[in-house]
Amino acid sequence: MGAAVGNANAGDSVARFLQQRGIVAQAQQTPSGADPAAPGLLNQVRDKASDLVLSAMNFLGVPYKRGGNSVSNGFDCSGFTRHIFEMSVGLVLPRRADEQAKLSSLVPIKKEDLKPGDLVFFNTMRATFSHVGIYVGEGKFIHSPRVGGAVRVEDMREAYWAKRFTGARRADLNQANAGT
């Protein structure tokens, strides 16, 4: 299968997956059956970030484990993001959330400019960058939340997350997997 076909299929797969899980609304179809021209998640995910988001979604339900960085042992928040970025785009992130936020190769992004695949950071432990997840679109992110929890998708607009949001970073995914 060609790369262009694979990327288009990955974008379609992400869209279907998010719709089936109720994470995004069903796409409106134009009379020709094509995606609508309106901007939104379904149009944003048709690039390399779609593979990253789809990879992350494969880990829904994996238990949280402090210091965890594998499916067999569970993930903490930064172990999850590190695993997803390394596995799907070949970018090795630092181990801790605060180190990921300070990585010079990641570009700071404004909340209104978020795209699927961006890292989102929160202050959950009285530290500016104490929690990290991956933005999936339409105000939602996937993360490994806390002891007793499991990898899941949550809405950043909910009061808890909205007041704790501290920033976002974007990796150059074209550079990250140029060697793969």
Active site residues: 77, 131, 143
Q: Phi and psi at residue 59, in whole multiples of 5°?
A: -105, 10
End-to-end CA distance of the chain: give it in Å, rounded: 16
Q: The tokens 């995004």 sit on which residue? A: 24
Enumerate residues 6+ apart whose C-beta is below 8 A from 52.
84, 85, 88, 89, 116, 117, 134, 173
Beta carbons within 10 angstroms of residue 15's beta carbon: 24
DSSP structural state of residue 112:
G
User: Whole-angstrom Cα distance, residue 39 to residue 84?
Assistant: 26
Among candidate residues 32, 180, 179, 176, the one with its CA nearest the CA of residue 106: 176
User: Whole-angstrom Cα distance, residue 129 to residue 99?
Assistant: 8
